[in-house]
Amino acid sequence: MLTFLLKRLVAGVVVLFAIACLTYTLLYFSSANIARNILGEYATAEQLTAKSAELGLDQPLIIRFLGWLGQALTGDLGHSWFTGQSVAGALFTRLPVTLALIVSAIIIIAILATLLGMAAAVKRGWIDRVVQTAAVIGDAIPGFVLAIILVTLLAIQLSLFPATSSISPDSPASAWVASLTLPVIAIVINGVTGAAQQVRSAVIKQLEKDYVRTLRSRGVSERVILFKHVLRSAAPAGLTVLSLQFIGMLGGVVIIEQIFALPGMGALAVASTTLGDIPLVMGVVLYTVVIVIIVNLLVDLANGWLNPKVRVS
Amino acid sequence: MKFNSLATAVAIVSAAALGLSGCAAGNSEPSASSGEGATGGTLTLGSLADIKSFDPAQAHLGHQMPIYQAAYDTLIKRDADGTLSPMLATEWSYNDDNTVLTLKLRDDVTFSDGAKLDAAAAKANLDHFLADNGPDAQQIALVSAVDVVDASTISITLSEPDPALEFYLTQAPGLIGSPAALATADIDTVPVGSGPYVLDAANSVSGSQFTFTANPDYWDPDTQKYDKVVFKVLADMTARTNALVSGQIDAALLDPKTGAQAEGAGLTLTEYSTDWMGLFLFDRDGAITPELKDVRVRQAINHAIDRATILEQLALGQGEVTTQIFNKDTAAYDAGLDNAYPYDPKKAKSLLAAAGYEDGFTLRLPLLPGTEAILAVVTQQLADIGITVEQESVPQANYVADISGAKYSAAWFSVFQGDPWVVIKQQIATTAGYNPFDSTSPDLAAALLATQTGGDDSAELAHAVNEYVVDEAWFAPFFRPSQMYYSNSEVVEVVPQTQQAVPSIYNYSPVN
């Protein structure tokens, strides 16, 4: 178990380093106009040269990367070139918003998808048809369209929720709830149907297995079969979908965050990438990769816990 | 067992995350006054753009103007109609040849860190601005020295006259912060000024929200009308509209399309103009597109543009068609030049023929993302007179660099129409960023020199410059788009600020 964790840890560090190299190189090749972006449209050529020198943009790629890496290894991700705030500080204020949004959505999706998927698999009939149809519709409607519809109906027409985020450092928990409700609903509608579909087929597959017949023949109750045995065996499929959804959301919530003006990572990632704010982009990328690695590890561990067959010895 | 404890940990983390969104029912943020100090309650504004740094030397004022004005006073104040009036400087005057500006400062102003404003502090700010290579550093690039005359007087010496210097002292170069704070790294995120409000840094998130509270020691209580001012950065047009329509913010800049929704919700429109938009015909000497050297070709392009239709279709009629680049509020403006080149494709074709291009020619134009519709119309209307437009996609981040780097012989853009000398410095002078091929002529140079050295008559003298560039068809302007600023007139009264992206912070008053 410990060696497994160690191996994963080492692999994670390797992945992190590889992605850092790759991202930095890509940013290097698109960094021609950073000084112009910082200084704006009326800056003179001399100003631009001075700014480039100040930021080290006139240095070769390898020197710049090693400089950044050296700092990063000491835990210092530097300061944003545009706003001057520390990268760690910027991430620290924004990460909780995005994580609260995604984690809440994933938990709700997990619960609803399990219930719907199992209901569809066990009862079949009309429930199944509804889940199947909804899966297609839910996948087909983009999350941002749902978001706009929700804002128009529930925030502007009925004034039940704030139309845009009222989250700020001083806002009470209630502001978080109110501000996250609509975005979470938009994400859940979009994500739950696909996950339910996966749970449904996994459960159906398990119900056809021999061990279910054996259990039934021994007189084990249908409820125990379903929740203790079938669900446990079917869960890995659902978990994999959820982890993929989670990782997809890290990038996918950008538009949702924009529509609701949520002060999350999405807006930060978009703005820093378009402007060429290299320290900030690197910070966003590193944190995202770390989250992805952690999520994958958690899913592996959870799968092992659910299903002894895939456990590592 | 290990797995179980891990599961517990996961459950706790998830529960904590949900807990953030878990308890208490929604009492929304109070928007009314807490009742102490100033009387106006809270003003909440939607801002299109984020602030880059609170360091005055790194400031760029456009949509961010009121955020800086909350924290900092400027040496000179620009009133809503554009007249200059005293602020930190009580009076100022030029020497005879307009190269030394002497400013007398208030002696009753303290910064939020307790330091006092004096001549040395003002000098320190201007020196810092000159040395720190910020976005607007070129605005006072002609300043050769700043001197302390006495404890409350400074003089600014110019290497050559700059008719826009007083205007610039209402902008970024005029923002005055506490000298001790300017040298620190914290100034990027925490302003230390003498402005009517003080940043509540704990309740501000860069890129999302800036919360200011009234400065208890402010020297001009009449300017300080609110207890609290909140700027919400809402870059997304949909989010900004929704926030305004649902009452989360009191005022924000929208556009013609979202304006309809705002009007439906009973919001009040304040209209003013800041920009002109249209084509820059940069290559007036024919360096890359030889055809553009002939003034008749540039005039033909002007006659080919159906401005009224473009305005109607692309901006729903919100704006005024024009063929000049100077704004209506200056002496350089000439109403007659708004229609110097009426839409007339026939005349355009005959001008092209007279220039020897009856078969037309090819013009390469850069395409800025988001302006596909405008370029499509331009392409169509120029095709009608035989000019083939080749569009070339340019990433947003490269657009300004490319067009001011002489990569294209012409380009569409929307740019600021400030004071005449500001327009000249940005778009007409050989040093201007938007004159990449350094076009000029002896006549123009003479008119420019007269404007530069004209002192108080400078703006009127710029009229000759205006006539020259219109006659020579340096540009093919389409229209002056209306800035559509919407506000909730039940809570706030807004006075538009001429030639500024959004109204100054001083232009808002609570409705009682």
Note whether B477 and B413 are within 8 A (CB): no
User: What pLDDT does B502 receive?
Assistant: 95
The whole-angstrom separation of Cα B101 and Cα B168 is 13
pLDDT for res A19: 93
Mean pLDDT value across residues B328-356: 95
Q: CA of A164, closest CA in chain B: separation in Å?
A: 6
pLDDT of residue B9: 41
* Chain A residues within 8 A of B258 when measuring between CB atoms: none
Give me the residue from B14, B27, B235 closest to A174, CB to CB: B27
Neighbours of B359 (CB within 10 A): 8
- The alpha-carbon gap from A150 to the nearest alpha carbon of chain B, in Å, equals 11
CA distance A146 to chain B (A): 14
Residues of chain B with Cβ-Cβ distance to A39 below 8 Å are: 133-135, 137
Mean pLDDT of chain B: 90
SS3 A219: coil
Query: How many angstroms separate the CA atoms of B135 and B128, rounded?
Result: 13
Dist. CA A50–CA A231, nearest whole Å: 63
Judge: A99–B245 Cβ closer than 8 Å, yes or no.
no
Return the SS3 of B271: strand
The whole-number average pLDDT for the span B454-481 is 95
Do B367 and B392 form a contact (C-beta atoms < 8 A)? Answer: yes
- The chain-wide mean pLDDT, for chain A, equals 87
Distance of alpha carbon A311 from alpha carbon A303, whole angstroms: 8
Digit-coded pLDDT (tens) for B277-291? 999 999 999 999 999
- Closest Cβ–Cβ partner in B21, B239, B398 for A100: B21
d(CA B259, CA A244): 40
Q: Does B14 touch chain A (CB under 8 A)?
A: yes
pLDDT band at A311 (very low <50, low <70, confident <90, very high): low
Interface size, chain A vs chain B, as Cβ–Cβ contacts under 8 Å = 197
Q: Which has the higher per-residue pLDDT, B299 or A141?
A: B299
**pLDDT band at B31; cut points 50, 70, 90:** very low
Interface check for B24 against chain A (CB to CB < 8 A): the answer is yes
Between A138 and A31, the more confident residue is A138
Q: What pLDDT does residue A85 have?
A: 85
- The Cα–Cα gap between B293 and B390 comes to 19
Q: Does A260 sit within 8 Å of B239, measured CB to CB?
A: yes
In whole angstroms, what is the distance from residue B59 CA to residue B174 CA? 11
In chain A, alpha helices (H): 2-29, 34-39, 45-55, 61-73, 87-123, 125-140, 143-150, 173-207, 210-217, 222-224, 231-259, 265-275, 278-306
Q: Give the tens place of pLDDT for each residue, A189-243.
A: 888 888 888 888 888 888 888 888 898 888 888 888 888 888 888 888 888 889 9
Render pLDDT for B50-59 as a digit per residue (tens, 0 to 9): 888 999 999 9
Contacts of B232 in chain A (CB under 8 A): 164, 261
Residue B135 and residue A259: Cβ atoms within 8 Å? no
Nearest by CB to B242, from A54, A151, A172: name it: A151
- Region B232-245: mean pLDDT is 92
Cβ atoms of B167 and B329 closer than 8 Å: no
Q: Considering only alpha carbons, which residue of chain A is nearest residue B17? A: A100
Q: The whole model's pTM is what?
A: 0.86
pLDDT on residue A267: 81
* B442 vs A170 pLDDT, higher one: B442
Task: State the number of CA atoms in the 13 A half-sphere of B279 facing the CB.
Answer: 35
Checking ipTM against 0.90, whether it exceeds it is no
In a mutagenesis test of the A interface, which of B4, B6, B10, B21 is the best target, namely the one with the most A β-carbons within 10 Å? B21
| 8 Å CB contact between B80 and B72 | no
pLDDT tens per residue across span B92-144: 999 999 999 999 999 999 999 999 999 999 999 999 999 998 889 989 999 99
**B138 CB near a chain A CB, below 8 Å?**
yes
**What confidence category does residue A269 fall into, taking pLDDT thresholds of 50, 70 and 90?**
confident
Which B residues in the span 36-55 are in contact with A, Cβ-Cβ below 8 Å?
A: 50-53, 55
Nearest to B26 among A103, A177, A259 (CB): A177
Q: At residue B346, does pLDDT exceed 50?
A: yes
Angle of helix A231-259 versus helix B237-245 axis, rounded to 10 = 80
